[in-house]
Amino acid sequence: MNEVVITKENFQREVLQYRDTPVLLDFWAMWCGPCMALGPIIEQIADEYKGRLKVGKVNVDEQPELASAFRVESIPMLAVVRDGKLAEQAVGLRPKEDILKLVGLK
């Protein structure tokens, strides 16, 4: 499991100040069926692209400030952060290939 749990306490260090690779953030919740379906895909991407992509999981119920900062209105929502700035985002369950294109790995 190569995903990092992102909280308001570690967000600055793990996302905004991280410059080595793009950061893919998965905004999710336990009660969200599509989020649960997306989870294994995100985990697979995190494992396969370790060193080329950092993957963070943001539980919207536990981190409402981060969900608000990213204007999350529907989940699952994916956000790509490059050099501390939001570069891409997408809402809804997506296949692995689409996610890789979103982060620029395909």
SS3 labels along 72-85: CCCCCEEEEEECCE
Amino acid at 87: A
80 assigned to active site = no
Task: Tell me how far CA of residue 91 lies from CA of 25, 54, 106, in angstroms.
Answer: 12, 19, 19
71 assigned to active site = no
From first to last of its 106 residues, the chain has per-residue pLDDT tens of 789 999 999 999 999 988 889 999 999 999 999 999 999 999 999 999 999 999 999 999 999 999 999 999 999 999 999 999 999 999 999 999 999 999 999 8
In CATH, what number does 3-103 get? 3.40.30.10
**Which of 4, 35, 75, 103 is labelled catalytic?**
35
Q: Are 81 and 16 in contact (CB under 8 A)?
A: yes
pTM for the full predicted model: 0.95
**Which of 6, 32, 53, 79 is labelled catalytic?**
32
Tokens of 64: 């409402």
